[in-house]
Chain A
Amino acid sequence: MANADCIILMGGNMAEAHPVGFQWVSEALAKGAKMIHVDPRFTRTSAVATKHVSIRAGSDVVFLGGLINHMISNELYFHDYVVAFTNAATLVSEDFRDTEDLGGLFSGFDPETGKYDPSTWAYADPAGGTVTGPSGEEHGASASARAAGHEYGSGGPPLEHASVLRDETLQHPRTVFQVLKRHFSRYTPEMVRDMCGISIDDFEYVARTIAESSGRERTTCFGYATGWTQHTLGAQFIRTAAVLQLLMGNVGRPGSGIMALRGHASIQGSTDIPTLFNLLPGYLPMPSVGRHDSYREYVDSIGSKQQKGYWAYAETYVVNLLKAWWGEAATAENDWAYDYLPRLSGAHGTYQTTADMRDGKVEGYFVLGQNPAVGSANGRQQRLAMAQLKWLVVRDLNMIESATWWKDGPEIESGELRTEDIATEVFFMPAATHVEKAGSFTQTQRMLQWRHQAVQPPGQAQSELDFFHELGVRIRARLAGSTDPRDRPLLDLTWDYPPDAHGNPDPEAVLAEINGYVVDDRAPLSAYTEMKADGTTAGGCWIYTGVYADGRNQAARRVPQGGGGVTQSEWGWVWPADRRILYNRASADRDGKPWSERKAYMSWDDAQGRWVGPDNVDFPVDKHPHARPDPSLGGAEGLAGDDPFVMQADGKGWLYTPKGLVDGPLPAHYEAAESPVRNALYAQQQAPARVLLARSDNMEAPSAGEPGADVYPYVFTTYRLTEHHTAGGMSRWSPYLAELQPEMFCEVSPELAAERGLVNGGWATIVSPRAAIEARVLVTDRIRSLTINGREVQQVGLPYHWGVGSDAVVTGDAANDLLGVMMDPNTQIQESKVASCDVIAGRRPRGADLQRLVASYQQRAGTTPETGTRAVTDPEKEGF
């Protein structure tokens, strides 16, 4: 970021949520860069920005789409980069129909399932027909349920092969470029003004600044946080930025890219090595019943050997994982014990599991350093669900609300639950802090950093590593001698980690297994390219191979400032292959020369016959830029010298996604699940493929155009403060931090305060179809009333750190209780950043009156579980 000429921060508040990372934005500003903050609120990020642009929450695709249209219409895109490195020239199937052809949907929508069949979105095949996935096309209903979008954390979606039709003049009407141009043509500055509440002057300023800060000599960088992810359209928000960045040539170069500003110490690591239902380590999918019944079906569908790049070797990564887990029991004859893996049959995400829990289908629940009673959407549903468990294990540092809801939760106070009636057994297991155990975190730039252990955990506290290792030992001991085939996966599991001085498993031995090794002599692998698919190597997470190269913990490297090089490469270890900038072959032009002296990074050296520069090149190191091998060779051999996107099946950056996203090959703006605004772009109001959980404990507010929408007339959004951390489990128990931010509050504009009689410092009650909470009122012009489609829209800002309990230093009502669970179909992430509410002056009712207030609003609005569940707004316009 420090090397950027322009930084656009959207969907986040970096100065307050990532203050120390923000120093690199400050460095860029000091070097003369511009920084623009686009956010509903004026925050400390805005305060130091070159410009703050106030935007209506949830309208980001309109704004970014407007920028794309501006760059294409005015020919401001980076032509040479776009032609050489993106799929702009690639031809799309004749059967594809855009939102422009229909009423706002793409071709292939299936009203039965409420999801898309994406087969018409595919590339045209030179041999006729389309380029499908390796096992044909997967229907969106299946892909969405297994949150398949999540699988592209390390590489793009697979294609059956990489032979495509290209027109590098970009004139053919079916080129991606022409499709893109037509699709975004209605995203005009006027539309941005009417839907986002952004003036045409401000829009033009942003467009001009990005255009001037992109191209050969300059680069623009984006940064985002959960203000982009937590939407029913979240993946498409980020896609829109990716399309813009590819058009402007801002990927794979110094000071370019899109930075995900993630919020937990190892949230990146826990996605790479996923404690997630739909993934196995290294972004391999969990097998699904009916789709992956046999090993062959599984490996053939996840990647094709005829596609380009390193995902062609997906089978190798699978074999190494299975070999690492089941050792000698994993053989070629039994398909590497593939059948030991359990199968998915739909969505098993945390919210579907919560609903199952509430319905009595889940017996036991582990909650590990997380506080769902406060931190998950629709907190009441979370707590009522936990009250149906047989047993609950909470492992944390402090006595969080997720461990005490049975005696001091909001439902005890309201009388909905009675402690004596709750049959759930609760185990609270004290956890070790980060200094009481050794291990690695993966931070937001994919860097693994090792923490050394400073002291032993106090009292009965222990780390997750020790606890789960010990639990595994005891479970295996209880099953010893079992002849039941279902116990084989546990009994055959490799679980023999050498003990440290205190008898606990040595975390470095676990890291060595993750890294991978030669089976015969346990020699560590140094790169994933050394992995074999024949059982002679094993490794738990292929993208992490190299972190234990030479038998040395590379994540523990701590040369001050990372050494003298510009990449500071002697500090920590970055996946994959210790590359600091991904896709960095794109930092040189088609001929392998730097785009400019100013932005030089990696380049081709003819004399040496290899790529050179300060980083490890993200490309076959000796492949000439003019190499044009037969694409049907597949794998690294199939990559042309101008295919920098080595994890994409065709080697190109995707302006258009022929497959992989389940809600459209291009971003299109739809309103949030709950919105007081009519969609002016299309007849379609909400994201058609959004995932709903229609239940009486998860009701939705009516949207604009539906009766009752005026009962919840305001838009609210949630956010973090500098002094607290998520649901407060690590901050509300700290007297220092509690003193700095003691109390829940809401930010409202002076106009809204006048409308509802709110007084600064007084109390307000915020009501949604799920809950009513109270908060202190902060009247401020940092949050502005916006003119949308000619009418005023008021937004309410709510920090979400407080919860109701009795153990923390500070408590308060939880903003997340207000949220419903409406999800993005690619990722199954809930929409937290925009929803509808009402605000009234004064404190909320106590006892049973609280639920009465919520119910009276629901009745006035006429809300039922069916409200807001219609997939297609105007079926006639879509041709149904």
Chain B
Amino acid sequence: MAAWSPLEWPVLRQVLTGDRTGRGAAVQSARTRQIESRNATADRVVQSVCPFCAVGCGQKVYVKDDKVVQIEGDPDSPISRGRLCPKGSSSEQLVNNPLRQTKIRYRAPHATEWTDLDRDTAIDMIADRFLAARRHGWQDHDEHGRPLRRTMGIASLGGATLDNEENYLIKKLFTAAGAIQIENQARI
């Protein structure tokens, strides 16, 4: 490390460089001068919308090497004008959080631990169970002989955090299968 020079005293540097707010050159070191913003080095910027509350703030997603490196408020948005709240500002961590699950986990009846499954097997198992539960809970008519054409064997909860297109396919598939106990946070 180089010997400390009195000229490096931050207050003096602030005066000498005219950095009145103390947020520019006066507070830089040799190391910080070399740091480049993640945003500046991103390969592309994708426009998105915050996934938390229903205000719908605009987000800019900075991507480098097919990884999200930063998410910031979108100044173009007439709703949010570039601002994000603490939750919205944490969005990058929502995506890159090491605690996030990226593997399918399966808990067998009475088991005390999870095991792994490949996706093909898991979806096949769910499809089989879906059809069995549909069959077991099927009701053709009520006690007066009026049509019901439904199953009471399957229920679902969720949708307020999902996309319109996703809710559309979920409602469409469940309704065609005769499942009616389909609900989401809007009831709560």
Contacts and interface: CB of A to CB of B under 8 A. Distances in A.
Interface stretch (A71-79, A172-180, A450-458, A672-680): A450-458
Given A277-B181, A436-B95, A489-B177, A365 B78 contact: no
Interface stretch (B3-11, B28-36, B108-116): B108-116
Given A430-B102, A435-B71, A458-B102, A443 B55 contact: yes
Which of the four size classes fits the interface of chain A? 35 or more
Interface string A534-575: 000000110010000000000000101110000010011000
A734 B152 contact: no
Interface in B12-54: 44, 46-54
A557 to B, nearest CB: 11
Contact of B76 (A434, A451, A560): A560
B104 A364 contact: no
A443 to B, nearest CB: 3
Interface string A519-534: 0000000000000000
Interface string A455-492: 11111111111011111101100110000001001100
Given A21-B55, A270-B185, A807 B99 contact: yes
A828 B164 contact: no
Contacts of B138: 486
A245 interface: no
A513 B167 CA distance: 13
B100 A398 contact: yes
A379 to B, nearest CB: 12
Contacts of A424: 107, 109
B179 A342 contact: yes
Given A370-B157, A809-B99, A397 B182 contact: no
A612 interface: no
Contacts of A396: 101
Given A427-B106, A455-B66, A514-B164, A264 B54 contact: yes
Contacts of A451: 47-49, 163
Nearest to A729: B161
A399 B138 CA distance: 32
A152 interface: no
A769 B6 CA distance: 69
B61 A740 contact: no
A725 B53 contact: yes
Interface string A735-777: 1110010000000000000000000000000000000000000
A475 B155 contact: no
Contacts of B44: 454
Interface string A566-603: 00100110000000000000000000000000000000
A812 interface: no
Interface in B123-167: 123-133, 136-138, 140, 142, 144, 146-167
B186 A425 contact: no
Interface residues of B, number: 118
Given A270-B186, A422-B110, A265 B180 contact: no
A704 interface: no
A51 B56 CA distance: 28
B83 A23 contact: yes
B56 to A, nearest CB: 3
Task: Name the residue in B49, B103, B136, B162 with the highest tally of chain A Cβ atoms < 10 Å from its Cβ.
Answer: B162
Contacts of B47: 451-452, 558
A730 interface: yes
A112 B119 CA distance: 52
Contacts of A572: 56
A421 interface: yes
Contact of B187 (A390, A397, A460, A827): A827
A32 to B, nearest CB: 21
B172 A362 contact: no
A350 B157 contact: yes
Given A293-B147, A439-B166, A460-B103, A265 B176 contact: no
B183 A350 contact: yes
Task: Name the residue in A340, A391, A459, A493 with the highest tally of chain B Cβ atoms < 10 Å from its Cβ.
Answer: A391
B180 to A, nearest CB: 5
A479 B102 CA distance: 31
A714 B32 CA distance: 55
A367 interface: yes
Contacts of A540: 168, 172
Interface stretch (A12-20, A185-193, A659-667, A847-855): A12-20
B101 A398 contact: yes
Contacts of A273: 164, 167-168, 171
A92 interface: no
Contacts of A426: 105-107
Interface string B66-89: 111001000111111101111111
A348 interface: yes
A435 B48 contact: yes
A353 B170 contact: no
B102 to A, nearest CB: 3
A823 to B, nearest CB: 9
A572 B79 CA distance: 10
Given A275-B159, A366-B157, A722-B86, A269 B51 contact: no
Given A435-B46, A510-B169, A419 B127 contact: no
A395 B75 CA distance: 32
A468 B91 CA distance: 25
A717 interface: no
Nearest to B183: A350
Task: Name the residue in B49, B58, B85 with the highest tally of chain A Cβ atoms < 10 Å from its Cβ.
Answer: B49
Given A366-B156, A827-B187, A286 B180 contact: yes
B110 A420 contact: yes
A31 B46 CA distance: 35
Given A275-B171, A472-B169, A486-B138, A265 B52 contact: yes
Given A270-B160, A290-B144, A435-B46, A465 B166 contact: yes
A667 to B, nearest CB: 22
Contact of A344 (B80, B176, B180): B180
A507 interface: yes
B97 to A, nearest CB: 6
B183 A345 contact: no
Contact of A364 (B71, B155, B161): B155
A737 to B, nearest CB: 5
A460 B161 contact: no
A20 B175 contact: no
A855 B94 CA distance: 40
A465 B169 contact: yes
B129 A390 contact: yes
Given A23-B81, A343-B150, A364 B129 contact: yes
A20 B66 CA distance: 29
A164 interface: no
Contact of A345 (B117, B148, B153, B161): B148
A753 B141 CA distance: 58
Contacts of B172: 325, 493, 540
B87 A725 contact: yes
Task: Name the residue in B52, B68, B122 with the highest tally of chain A Cβ atoms < 10 Å from its Cβ.
Answer: B52
A464 B170 CA distance: 8
Contact of A427 (B56, B66, B77, B122): B122
B88 A507 contact: no
A830 interface: yes
29 contacts: A18-B53, A20-B80, A23-B80, A262-B53, A265-B51, A276-B187, A341-B175, A356-B152, A362-B137, A364-B153, A365-B154, A366-B155, A369-B161, A370-B161, A376-B188, A406-B107, A430-B102, A435-B46, A436-B95, A463-B163, A464-B162, A479-B131, A486-B140, A511-B164, A558-B58, A725-B52, A733-B100, A737-B86, A737-B87
Given A342-B180, A345-B148, A425-B109, 8 more contacts: A267-B184, A270-B162, A341-B175, A363-B153, A427-B117, A439-B163, A461-B101, A471-B127
Which 8 residue pairs across A and B have the least CB separation, nearest first?
Answer: A368-B158, A443-B56, A439-B163, A459-B102, A275-B159, A342-B150, A264-B160, A363-B133
